[in-house]
Amino acid sequence: MILHPTVIANLLASCIVSFMVLYASYYGVQILRHWDIRSGDELQLILERKTYLISTLLTFVFGLQLLSLFLYIFTADVLCPLFVGAMCAAGTLNVNEFGYPTLVLKIINFILAGIWLVLNYADNQGYDYPLIKIKYLLLVFIAPFIVLETALASAYFLNMEADVITSCCGSLFSAEETAAGLGSEIAALPARTMLWIFYLAMACSLAAGIYFYLKGKGGYLYALVSLLVFGIALVSIVSFISLYIYELPTHHCPFCIIMEEYDYIGYLLYILLFGAVVAGIGIGALLPFRHVPSLQNVLGGFIRRLALASVVLYAAFTALVTYEIISSNLIM
């Protein structure tokens, strides 16, 4: 293990989130089993009081979960000088077999936590706890993922050995035929084709989003499209966006862009992207409840604001990418 402040911060954050989510899940199960708003039973009164405490707690805990994705990437980036062969977060994550699985889970949990926060916000708008069972059901669903993430993150940080030679991102995300792995396969995609796919996908998503915002139709479609576009955008970062930022024809790394030398542009790109996908999927998560009596008046407006946020964030992402391509010295 490497005793670096960021490693301790990561483990601490993971443990706090896991503990709190488990604690909340315990009451979540109670609520799922015994909740009855019409009852004046003692248990019901306790649960009603508890749910305020728990949902407030979880707002902060899931907020921490959202931040922890960026903390994790930041940590991997900060630690890279300690490992031979690592030049950025990509190499550090490759130090042992737990690095990348942890990252994947962190991304999944980011989206799940985001959806929970959206549901929780909507639930708090109604006077009769309209979504209480839904949000605790989701919490119980999320809990195993959070615990698994903590286990993987612990395994990753505790098994960090400084005397291994790791792979630099130049070989992990190399377009060469000899290189293996998902990173290399994505890097080997034809950049020009990916560029067109990216712009086409973004155009479709923006059109669907604006249509939903104005007409109130096609919400589920936009939620689905926003998830697809999120995937396409991630692939695009490896395939061609990185090339324009680095101005190197062979460097596909999605992690070097978060370094100081590139003005931390990667953090901005990822924040825009993750914000957009959470808002987009949040629409799909809320639409089934728009006719719930106590939410009828408020939910429509909230869903439209989510749609606007998602569209604006995707548009900002596209604009930033376009700026990078135009101002780049690389010509493909």
The per-residue DSSP string of 81-127 comes to: GGSBT--SHHHHHTSSTTHHHHHHHHHHHHHHHHHHHHHHHHHHHST
As measured in angstroms, the least distance from the Cβ of 170 to another protein is: 3
As measured in angstroms, the least distance from the Cβ of 159 to another protein is: 16
Q: Residue 205 in contact with residue 226, Cβ under 8 Å?
A: yes
As measured in angstroms, the least distance from the Cβ of 239 to another protein is: 16
| Residue tagged 């954050």 (tokens) | 13
Contact positions vs another protein (CB under 8 A): 81, 84-85, 87, 164-171, 246-251, 253, 256, 261-263, 327-329
As measured in angstroms, the least distance from the Cβ of 331 to another protein is: 9
d(CA 224, CA 58): 26
As measured in angstroms, the least distance from the Cβ of 317 to another protein is: 18
For another protein, which is the closer residue by CB, 258 or 276? 258
Tokens of 312: 């604006």
> Which stretch of DSSP H or E encloses residue 180?
none
For another protein, which is the closer residue by CB, 85 or 300? 85
As measured in angstroms, the least distance from the Cβ of 13 to another protein is: 29
- What are 201-204's contacts with CB under 8 Å, separation 24+? 201/228, 201/229, 201/232, 201/233, 202/229, 202/233, 202/314, 202/317, 202/318, 204/229
As measured in angstroms, the least distance from the Cβ of 171 to another protein is: 7
For another protein, which is the closer residue by CB, 171 or 205? 171
Q: Residue 151 in contact with residue 144, Cβ under 8 Å?
A: no
Find the DSSP H helices in 132-218. Answer: 132-158, 169-172, 182-187, 191-215
> Pick from 130, 120, 124, 112: which is nearest to 59 by CA?
120
For another protein, which is the closer residue by CB, 24 or 321? 321
For another protein, which is the closer residue by CB, 99 or 219? 99
For another protein, which is the closer residue by CB, 100 or 129? 100
315: CB partners within 8 A, 6+ apart: 206
For another protein, which is the closer residue by CB, 166 or 239? 166
